[in-house]
Amino acid sequence: MRRLGLLFVRYGLPLAIAVAGIVCLAIGGDLAGTGVVLIGSAAMVLLLNVLFRLSLTSNRERDEEERAREQFEREGRWPDE
């Protein structure tokens, strides 16, 4: 269930916002400006999700590096040697 919620926030929410923006653009008139804003907002939500995931990956790699350095200090050799 949690995985489904994460997928919705990562991809479903930006998709729904973008679809609403496209509908507003298709209707035209005064709603065209709203459509552009919605499409831009969808892109920002998607980009924020991507950047957040990259930061989590970076933190994980940093933790692995720290553990490897600690092992090097204890044993005098790098873990993958």
**41-57 residue pLDDT tens:** 999 999 999 888 888 77
3-state secondary structure the chain: CHHHHHHHHHHHHHHHHHHHHHHHHHHCCCHHHHHHHHHHHHHHHHHHHHHHHHHHHHHHHHHHHHHHHHHHHHHCCCCCC
Q: Is residue 65 part of a domain?
A: yes
Residue ranges in the chain whose pLDDT is less than 70: 81
How many domains does one find in the chain?
A: 1
pLDDT value of residue 81: 62
pLDDT of 68 reads: 82
Please report whether residue 10 resides in a domain: yes
Residue 41, pLDDT score: 96
Domain that holds residue 22: 2-75
